[in-house]
Every structure is written in C-alpha cells, then in structure tokens.
Amino acid sequence: MILADTLSRAFPQAGSNETEFPEELAALSTVDADQLSELRMVASAATVEFINRAARDDDEYASLIQQIKRGWPDSPADVATYLRPFYTFADKLCTSGDLVYKGHRLVVPQQARSYIL
C-alpha cells in the first residue's frame, strides 16, 4: 500500500479504483420492485393503473419528481410555491418508477386524491 500526501506524485495503480460492493448495488436494483409489490398488495391493478395515469397527467407531480432528482435547495423560498409543502420532509421523498414515495408511503397525485383518500 502506498500512502500519498497532497504534494506527492504517487498515483494509485491502474485498476485500483474499481468499486467492489455488488451486494449493495443488487439491493438498490430491487427497491423499485419492492415498492411496486407493496403497492399491489394494498391496491388493485386498476387502482395502480389509475394512480400511474394520474401521475403522468399531473404537471405538478412531474415537477416534484424532477425536484427530487435534482435535489432540494437550502431555502424553501427557492422552491416553487406548489412544492413548498413537501420541503419540510424533502429528505424522506424518493421516486420509484413514475411515482413518489415518502418512506414506504405513496404520495398520491392531486387528480387521484378524491378517489384514493
């Protein structure tokens, strides 16, 4: 093992930068399937399709997905007005497919709320 300080020219050997944690990567790839299967346990196929359609048609929901993927700013003033209610728990939001989850709970699109809730 070579330990280099900031002024050293002792570069790491080729191939030593490869990531070696396939178990963690494999676990991440199943997250979408797990959340979708949990949703299917509590909702019928027709309801899941209705939610997906409402999510695709909802511009504010699409903006929320983009904001989650982009990351949240430091100040809620820098977020669109309709996204500010989500700012307080932004660190708990994630996307899976075309849907947004707060932990394991689905964030229902606005168009589907009267039907679902």
Q: Which residue has the higher pLDDT, 81 or 33?
A: 81
**Stretch 33-44: mean pLDDT:** 80
Is-above-0.85 flag for pTM?
Answer: no
Q: What's the pLDDT score for residue 30?
A: 60
Burial of residue 106 (CB within 10 Å: 0-12, 13-18, 19+) is: buried
Residue 75 placed within a domain: yes
Q: What's the pLDDT score for residue 61?
A: 96
Q: What's the pLDDT score for residue 39?
A: 82
Residue 79 placed within a domain: yes
Residue 40: pLDDT band with limits 50, 70, 90 = confident
Yes or no: say if 79 and 73 are a contact pair by the CB < 8 Å rule: yes
Q: Over the chain, what is the mean pLDDT? A: 83
Residue 32 placed within a domain: yes
Residue 49 placed within a domain: yes
Residue 94 placed within a domain: yes
In the chain, % of residues over pLDDT 90: 49
Q: Is the pLDDT of residue 85 over 90?
A: yes
Residue 45 placed within a domain: yes
Q: Is the pLDDT of residue 28 over 90?
A: no
Residue 83 placed within a domain: yes
Q: Which domain holds residue 91?
A: 22-116
Residue 2 placed within a domain: no
* Distance (Å, whole) CA 70 – CA 74: 13
Q: Is the pLDDT of residue 22 over 80?
A: no
**Stretch 48-70: mean pLDDT:** 94
The total of structural domains in the chain comes to 1
Cβ partners under 8 Å of residue 48, min gap 6: 39, 40
